[in-house]
Amino acid sequence: MIKTLNRKYFLALTFIVAGIIIFPCFVANADNQPIIPDAFVSSERLSQGDTLLIVVKNEPNQISGNLGLVPLIFFRDETGKDWIAITGITLSKTPGMYNLFINVPGKSVFNKNIIILKKDFPITQLLVTQKLVQIGYTAKNVVNNVINNENKILLKVLNVITPISYINKSFIYPVTEIKDVGAFGNIRKSNTYEIRHLGVDLKAPVNTLVYAANDGKVVLVESMWDYGNTVIVDHGLGVYSLYLHLGYFNVKEGQIVKQGDLIGLSGNTGYSITPHLHFSISMRGASLDPLKFIEATQADW
């Protein structure tokens, strides 16, 4: 008898708890149909290094969501009506299926499965030209200085997550002509020394105009031995753009910039084989493919 009662109470309790948990997911309109949030997702299949753009349209209240266990941070677009979240797939992300879910107050939960694929990045030669050797560069000291010094300077900046968004619109390319002359993610190797290329090299003859990819605050202007003359712009919420090997700086640390403002002129400073612009995007401390990132933010929604 006691056992039967306990079982009945247990079943009743289970239904009550299930009702409390499940009920908010079945918010319905007058016709008893669930109200689905109007959401746009830039892609359902992504690779390591890619970027996902999520837009939820015409929502007055703050919304939240996750991709797997990674929380999404939504900010307002320039119309003030829609919410945008940008999330990056890190190079070390385990391939597989991840659930994207978005909670919109008063509506049913938006759910979608996102497939993340492994990407094989090529191994290329870490080049040190005779000209660079003459001024002191070797594969060993290039790699050691990047790892032990310059990456530490960058990460100190890039690991800071500014809690506000300076941006409310898509990113633009930092130079007018886009020609990829050094792909993102390649592993550059010379004997036992190797370095990961965590940005893209864009064709840029000396003195090419380099523009801010979006609104933000200049948080680093520094001349470095490997990365050359470097500018970092903080776009808020952990998103940064980086401009390396510049010939001339046109901004100062602490300066607020608008999208399209002149950051500087391209050059051939630091460990650089030939004039070009190295452009990187960092999101919450992880490097993303910058061209894929811009493409995702420009998705037509």
Longest pairwise C-alpha distance within the chain: 92
Q: CB nearer to Zn ion: give 68 or 182.
A: 182
Q: CB nearer to Zn ion: give 65 or 199.
A: 199
* Residue 278 is a binding residue for Zn ion (CB under 5 A): yes
Q: CB nearer to Zn ion: give 166 or 279.
A: 279
Q: CB nearer to Zn ion: give 78 or 180.
A: 180
User: How many of the chain's residues bind Zn ion (CB under 5 A)?
Assistant: 2
- Determine the Cα–Cα distance for residues 18 and 12; give it in Å rounded to an integer: 10
- Give the amino acid at 214: N
CB of 154 to Zn ion, least distance (A): 13
- Determine the Cα–Cα distance for residues 269 and 276; give it in Å rounded to an integer: 9
Which residue in the shown chain puts its C-beta closest to Zn ion?
A: 278
Q: CB nearer to Zn ion: give 142 or 167.
A: 142
Q: CB nearer to Zn ion: give 226 or 295.
A: 226
Query: Which residues share a beta bridge with 218?
Result: 233
Q: How far is CA 110 from the centre of its chain?
A: 22
- Determine the Cα–Cα distance for residues 102 and 63; give it in Å rounded to an integer: 7
CB of 167 to Zn ion, least distance (A): 24
* Residue 188 is a binding residue for Zn ion (CB under 5 A): no
Of 73-81, 120-128, 132-140, 278-286, the window that binds Zn ion (rule: CB under 5 A) is: 278-286
Cα dihedral 268, 289, 160, 169 in deg (nearest 10): 100
Of 44-52, 127-135, 254-262, 271-279, the window that binds Zn ion (rule: CB under 5 A) is: 271-279
The two tokens of residue 248 are 């001339």
* Residue 201 is a binding residue for Zn ion (CB under 5 A): yes
CB of 124 to Zn ion, least distance (A): 11
Q: Which helix (H) or strand (E) element contains residue 12?
A: helix 2-22
CA angle 33, 37, 41 (to 5 degrees): 135
CA distances from 66 to 113, 237, 252, 267, 272 (A): 12, 15, 36, 41, 40
Of 125-133, 170-178, 183-191, 200-208, the window that binds Zn ion (rule: CB under 5 A) is: 200-208
Query: Which residues share a beta bridge with 234?
Result: 217, 240
CB of 257 to Zn ion, least distance (A): 22
DSSP secondary-structure letter at 165?
Answer: B
CB of 136 to Zn ion, least distance (A): 20
* Dihedrals phi, psi of 296, to nearest 5 degrees: -65, -40
CB of 161 to Zn ion, least distance (A): 25
Of 32-40, 80-88, 199-207, 213-221, the window that binds Zn ion (rule: CB under 5 A) is: 199-207
CB of 197 to Zn ion, least distance (A): 6
CA angle 204, 267, 195 (to 5 degrees): 85
Binding residues (CB under 5 A) for Zn ion: these are: 201, 278
